[in-house]
Structure 1
Amino acid sequence: MNLYQYAFRDKFLEKSALCEKKKKNRIKSSKEFIIWAEDKLNELHEWLKKYNFEDEETEIEFFKEIKPCLFSKLIFQKEVLRIETRAPCGTKLSLRFFEEELKQTAKNLKIDPEFYNYVRSHSNARDHVYFTRKIKKDILEIDCFHLCFDPKISTYYDHKMAIILAHDLLVNYIENRIRKIKMKCKRKKKNYSESVGIQSKLHWTRNKTELIELVYAMHFSKVINNGNSDLKEIAKAVGLLFNIEITDNLYRTFTDIKNRKNQGSKFIQSLADNFQKKITEENSL
């Protein structure tokens, strides 16, 4: 029995596991793994071109389990690299980004339903068709870009199997990223409340920019502490009252408000308009 494929698999998966542990610099570790893996898989292909499996059972095992497992790691790391290099900074922006990625990942799995159901149901009746090289595949079923595949190194369906496995890895990865970001948001909110020893039951339900506009209006109008209060102190107190942290975005948001093409203080103006409207309605009764 040729043990090459098993030794190759063990070494490959060991390298993959080491990459998974390097979470601090995910982009760097993914790039290093991709470069290493592509070179190693080329070695596997050279071996496959010359090797004939001793029986159908061993061949099916290789093309159904071993090769898809290895290639799924490469596909997965390429997707991780793509996602992490595009992910924005900031907890809320990154949370929205990964939630959208999760939706798109679910939509982008383009595997024919028959084969997908076959894999998910753990069937084996057609393994000799899907995972052996000797069976001639129906050209009507094969995607165009697979027509140039070397039949000595692939059964075509082993690649589909790898995509399904990589999809599962990617979904799990994105879900973990979302879970960690949400935990970080909760800790940040909890620490903010605990730092001042108060927990308000009020929640700001408009956007953060409008609340910052209100903070600046109070500060410039000098209605708090006769104008002797610090802007960040007001922002911190208001944020505490409404369970929202706004001190980090104060100056950048104010710059955006000043640069509005139309009326800058549109939220403050809307408050005044609504208040005046209510007074008019009450007086007309």
Structure 2
Amino acid sequence: MKEFAERLLDEMHRELSQLALNTTHELQRTEQSFQIAESAMQQLKAYMKDFEFQSVQEEILFFKEIKPQFQRELIYYCELMYIDANKPVGSKKCMIKYYHQVMEQIQAFFGRNHLLYTYYRMGRSDQDELLYVRETDCVPLIPDYSLDFDSSFTTINSSKLGKIMAFERVCEYLTQTIQALEYGVPVIPEQKSKHLWTESKAALIELAYALHSRGAVNNGKCDVKAIINSLEQLFNVEVGNFYRTFQSMRIRKKNRTSFLDNLKLSLEKRMDETDLEY
């Protein structure tokens, strides 16, 4: 399950990155991005239809870390289309007021779900079995509903987490848009790198931790999260919960640094082949 989901997630992010590079029309790019995310979610749901979790930890992994990443993209682009469709035609002041109203609605959602939001922001895991396992799904104190009614493919809090993650991105977009309007300049899309990471996400995490451990960035005065963020931007990839991946790598009995080991072998092979040419 994990391998399939990671490949699907990588493919989705790769398609989204390529679309961002090749499509300049903002509304068209948003609509096509939504279609890419929707297709990925449908493929994930089809795969999980007959899948049975082998442990509680595997179920938590899916509902806390895997599915919300797909849902974040789907909701994010859906919200951007909704915001644009309801955008008023009028003065700059009218536009700014509208975007602030949308921000207030999002903040109200965060407020209604402040316990889950705080739990997520703090990176906690002590209540995971209560929040992300279907049979013990925590019922909210305030009645709520979800458009995702398939009990085999959701927990209430997994769906809300995906929405929280999406709304955080929407807030970033709205903040940039408001600032651009206030300063009287057009919104400049984020410059995307043209490079794509084609190894596994675990490989990038392994590289980032090696650079951090070596003190190779800023004379060692740079935390691993900053290094990973830089690599993510450079290679158009999102690695997700890198700390959890690193812990999994750390407890391996063999091949704890398989990517770095193979990287060294590849470089030595190239050196040897270059020597033979001379």
Amino acid at match of 1:27: L
**1:257 maps to which residue?**
none
Q: Once the 2 structures are TM-superposed, how far is the Cα of residue 144 of structure 1 from its aligned partner?
A: 5.6
CA distance in 2, matches of 1:79, 1:119: 21
CA distance in 2, matches of 1:8, 1:174: 29
| Deviation readout 1:31-83 (Å, 9 max, x if unpaired) | 22223322331221121121123433333222111211110111111111111
TM-score (normalised: structure 1): 0.56
Amino acid at match of 1:159: S
Contact kept? 1:79, 1:170, Cα under 8 Å? yes
Contact kept? 2:40, 2:70, Cα under 8 Å? no
CA distance in 1, matches of 2:80, 2:176: 13
Contact kept? 2:110, 2:117, Cα under 8 Å? no
Identify which range, 96-105 or 145-154, moves more after superposition: 145-154
TM-score (normalised: structure 2): 0.57
Q: Once the 2 structures are TM-superposed, how far is the Cα of residue 90 of structure 1 from its aligned partner?
A: 4.9
5 Å matches for 1:104-119? 104-109=105-110, 111-119=112-120
| Deviation readout 1:100-158 (Å, 9 max, x if unpaired) | 3323332244643332222222110011221223x333557584634982222112211
Amino acid at match of 2:170: L
Other structure's SS at 1:150 match: coil
Q: Which runs of 5+ in 2 are unaligned?
A: 187-278
5 Å matches for 1:100-139? 100-109=101-110, 111-133=112-134, 135-137=135-137
CA, structure 1 residues 121+4, in 2 after alignment: closer, same or farther (shift >3 Å)?
Answer: same
Amino acid at match of 1:181: L
CA, structure 1 residues 142+49, in 2 after alignment: closer, same or farther (shift >3 Å)?
Answer: farther
Other structure's SS at 2:13 match: helix
How many pairs align?
A: 185
CA, structure 1 residues 147+82, in 2 after alignment: closer, same or farther (shift >3 Å)?
Answer: closer
**2:80 maps to which residue?**
80
CA, structure 1 residues 55+2, in 2 after alignment: closer, same or farther (shift >3 Å)?
Answer: same
**1:239 maps to which residue?**
none
5 Å matches for 1:1-285? 3-18=3-18, 24-87=24-87, 88=89, 90-109=91-110, 111-133=112-134, 135-137=135-137, 143=143, 145-146=145-146, 149-184=149-184
Amino acid at match of 2:37: A
CA distance in 1, matches of 2:45, 2:28: 26
Q: Which runs of 4+ in 1 moved over 6 A?
A: none
Contact kept? 2:80, 2:170, Cα under 8 Å? yes
**2:241 maps to which residue?**
none
CA, structure 1 residues 96+22, in 2 after alignment: closer, same or farther (shift >3 Å)?
Answer: farther
CA distance in 1, matches of 2:174, 2:16: 18
Q: Once the 2 structures are TM-superposed, how far is the Cα of residue 176 of structure 1 from its aligned partner?
A: 0.8
Amino acid at match of 2:180: K
CA distance in 2, matches of 1:12, 1:5: 10
Contact kept? 2:12, 2:36, Cα under 8 Å? no
Q: Once the 2 structures are TM-superposed, how far is the Cα of residue 97 of structure 1 from its aligned partner?
A: 2.6
Report sequence identity in percent: 20
CA distance in 1, matches of 2:2, 2:101: 45
Contact kept? 2:99, 2:174, Cα under 8 Å? yes
Other structure's SS at 2:183 match: helix
**2:192 maps to which residue?**
none
